[in-house]
Structure 1
Amino acid sequence: MGWTQVSQRRWERPVNGIEGYFTVLRNMIAPLCGGREHFTLFAKVKVEIDVSDAEGALRHAWKQIRYEQPQIATVVEDMKKVYEVPDETGLEEWLRATFIVSSASDAEELYRRAEPVSRATLYYVPLSSEILVRIPHYTIDAIGMLLLLHSYFRALENPAKDVRFGDEYTRLAPAVEDTLGQPEEPTPEQLKEAIDTARQWTREMPGIGPVSKAGKAPSGQSQNLEEVYSKEMTQRIVERCKEKGVTVTSAVHGAYIWMLRKYADPTGNLSRYVTAASINLRPYLAEPYGSSQYAASVYYAIISWAFDMPETYWDGVRLLNEKYQTAIKGNPVALEKSSHFTRGLCEVVQTPEFLANAVARDALPSSLGIVEQYLQRTYGSNIAVQDFKLGVDIVQGMCLLCIYTFNDQLRLVYNFNEGFEGASDIRRYLDEMKEVLERELLG
């Protein structure tokens, strides 16, 4: 599954299971939706840059990061990742296409009208001193986005005077299975088990979820709403979770499930909750693969969950806490099966049976933890990260609920599609989650 040189400048490797899953989604959805790709990641950063030529410095840092982490310049063709070592002309063409200076008033306006992307792209918005980075999910994951921003600001802080391309292919990110020392391909028996697991999980879909037009109406604009908790409430939530021996992620995820009881589609399955957990695998990788040197990679696991709706808020929180804590940690068998599962999922989502199923209505929770564990607030004396927001494009299917803290404030970003759900409904869900936390966790 390693990288192979196929011509003087071209390197290729097959996509692995999780990269393949997002590639399959792209191939199924993008042609029907004007090239828009489901789950394209975005990160918005408001940053103070005290340099004489901010645009030039940002552009040079983007070029430097391509040299340090060439994965950001890969594309996917069929089911292969492809990297081309650039000559001078090719490098300038790449910079023109992927480093864009926008005249928008701010990054929010830019995001609403940005064109689809099929490779990592950075936008600079001088009027608001913001950058917006958008990257397909088969190239990077959420923790990787944070680490990439960290590396980018490090490059901005310490610009290389002479960047000469030609040997950067040696730093192309391997597939996660290779970094874990797992076999490149599952055995036929392992693949059959993975397909059976994925098929059983998808047959449970959709579980309980809010009212949505997904699968019944045309896709609209990708949107998101953000809830930023006060520092005081965030501190109370953190302290209460420590007292109860649960994580903040479990408490917030539990509040989402409890909210669903109030706003569930009455025509759906009200007794079962069906979701997938995203587990960061970087702590399990040998260095340097778990570090920011290999930020532009997809190094996480999808773990399928389906269980009866809990009777109380705390029943749900404790169940989730146990599942999060034991999904991968200390379980090498589960770690290996997680790679097989995404291969099985690739097979299942292309079957007529899956395509005939009703679309899941709920949002997948995705927790980043504490952003500052990966992205610093300052870099040197002339770069200050003032605000941060991360989310994904929702084109078809499930929404995504991002959970993290930044600047000592709990933040929830509910990503949805306005063709399927209204902003006023999403706002009600976020408000209800906050009320649940106040009443059930802090009350």
Structure 2
Amino acid sequence: MATLMRTLRILFQPKKSLRWYQASPTIFRRNIDAVEGFHVTSGSENVPQGRRRLDLTATVNLQVGNGNKPTRHQARKAWIALRRKHPAMASVIQGSKRVYYRMDHQERQAWLDETFVNVPGEHALTPEVLNRYKATSRPTMYFLEDAHMFALRTPHYTMDGLGVFSLLGEYLAELGRIANKEQNACFDEQPSDLASCLEEAVQPTLSVTKTTFTTLENPTKLASKLPIHCN
């Protein structure tokens, strides 16, 4: 009964409650939508055993020359750059809300240690290897340095399959810029960069001409936000 009531509250909540708001100088919140709520509930049953149903994983094996092997330092630096670009990567689900905390240096280091995992002594990042690690509440990158392999694993309530591959692609682009010593764009984790939920993101907008058509938001703009949409 309690689960049913919680579901009904999520389904019939006002649309404005899905938007981010500042709860304090360092805390931002929004309500989760129905899609997030479904995946939070359906994926949580195996978390005590270190796994979670419906988690998504994308793995890439880089083919690089001897002089271009990504180092652990470069890989971690690229992960930090990606979080600055997409701050909602560091947000968490608390009850019926998604919460983002602005971090100080010590908190950022704790986030990095939790969500960037160096995997030692393995030949490949297989599902069996990844399942040895506990399920995390935020997108997590696993790095097997000797094999130049990366695996991005995330709860399904944070993004969908398209988002996982899009985020992994952006990560590799950041890694390439760092390896080539190119200047990376500077992001300051602004609240305006916090991704909206899927329900809010695909709200139709009206384009009024001689005939009124309902059109989606600019697809290019929408796609640029997909890595951290919650489907």
What is the rounded CA distance, in whole Å, between the counterparts of 2:46 and 2:129 in structure 1?
21
Q: Is the alpha carbon distance of 1:143 and 1:164 closer, same or farther for their aligned partners in structure 2, counting shifts above 3 Å?
A: closer
Distance 2:62 2:73 in 1: 15
Q: Percent identity?
A: 24
Deviation (angstroms), 1:9: 1.2
SS, match of residue 61 in structure 1: helix
Matches for 1:58-77 after TM superposition, within 5 Å: 58-77=75-94
Aligned residue for 1:36, secondary structure, equals: coil
| Residue 35 of structure 1, CA deviation | 4.7
Map of 1:320 onto structure 2? none
Task: Look up the match of 2:107.
Answer: 90
AA at the equivalent of 1:175: C
**TM-score relative to the length of structure 1:** 0.41
3-state secondary structure, aligned to 1:91: helix
Mapped pair 1:146 → 2:162: no
Aligned CA distance change for structure 1 residues 83 and 293 (closer, same or farther; 3 Å): same
CA distance in 2, matches of 1:79, 1:121: 22
State whether residues 203 and 216 of structure 2, in contact with CA within 8 Å, keep that contact through their aligned partners in structure 1: no
Relative to structure 1, is the Cα distance of residues 52 and 45 closer, same or farther in structure 2, using a 3 angstrom cutoff?
closer
Deviations for 1:215-258, whole angstroms, at most 9, x for unmatched residues? xxxxxxxxxxxxxxxxxxxxxxxxxxxxxxxxxxxxxxxxxxxx
Q: Distance in 2 between matches of 1:292 and 1:81?
A: 21
Structure 1 residues 8 and 130 mapped into 2: Cα distance closer, same or farther (>3 Å)? Answer: same
Q: Distance in 1 between matches of 2:161 and 2:94?
A: 23
1:137 matched to which residue of 2?
156
Deviation at 1:20, TM superposition (A): 1.0
Query: Structure 1 residues 140, 49: CA separation in 2 closer, same or farther (over 3 Å shift)?
Result: farther
Shift of 1:287: 4.5
Aligned to 2:230: 298
Deviation at 1:41, TM superposition (A): 0.6
The CA deviation string for residues 102-136 of structure 1, in whole angstroms up to 9 with x for no partner, is 11221015224222222111011022211111100
Show the counterpart of 1:45.
Answer: 60
Q: For 1:15, which of 14, 32, 37 is the aligned residue?
A: 32
Contact residue 63 and residue 148 of structure 2 kept, 8 A: yes
Checking the alignment, whether the CA contact within 8 Å between 2:163 and 2:228 is kept in structure 1 is yes
TM superposition shift of 1:180:
2.5
Root-mean-square deviation (Å): 2.5
Q: 1:68 to 1:55 in 2, by over 3 A?
A: same
TM-score by length of 2: 0.76
Q: Which has the larger radius of gyration?
A: 1
Structure 2 letter corresponding to 1:138: Y
Aligned to 1:168: 190
- With over 3 angstroms needed to count, the CA separation of the structure-2 counterparts of 1:6 and 1:288, relative to structure 1, is farther
Q: Which runs of 4+ in 1 moved over 4 A?
A: 160-164
Structure 1: segments with no counterpart, 5+ residues = 184-282, 300-443
Unaligned runs of 5+ residues in structure 2 are 1-17, 206-214
Q: Which residue of 2 aligns with 1:106?
A: 124
